[in-house]
């Protein structure tokens, strides 16, 4: 398996990517894609980065 971003061999730590950088690139693309898609509804309840999150609990 190779990195879908640059085609280099995948690193286990970052699979399916070869590096943190490529993982970030893919994440950026994914976010860009989602931002480009117009919301079909204005209903709240979707994952909202500005929403109040409960405080993290210890596992």
Which residue lies nearer to Zn ion by CB, 21 or 31? 21
- Confirm or reject binding of residue 18 to Zn ion (CB under 5 A): yes
Residues 21-40 that bind Zn ion (CB under 5 A): 22
Measured distance CA(24)–CA(33) in Å, rounded: 14
CA-based nearest residue to 28, from 53, 52, 5, 1? 5
Closest CA to 30 of 12, 43, 17, 13: 17
Binder of Zn ion out of 1, 2, 6, 51 (CB under 5 A): 6
Binding range to Zn ion, per CB under 5 A, among 13-21, 28-36, 44-52? 13-21
């Amino acid at each position: 398996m190779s990195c879908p971003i640059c085609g280099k061999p995948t690193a286990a730590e970052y699979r399916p990517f070869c590096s943190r950088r490529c993982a970030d690139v893919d994440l950026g693309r994914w976010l860009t894609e989602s931002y480009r898609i117009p919301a079909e509804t204005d209903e709240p309840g979707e994952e909202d980065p500005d929403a109040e999150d409960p405080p993290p609990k210890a596992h």
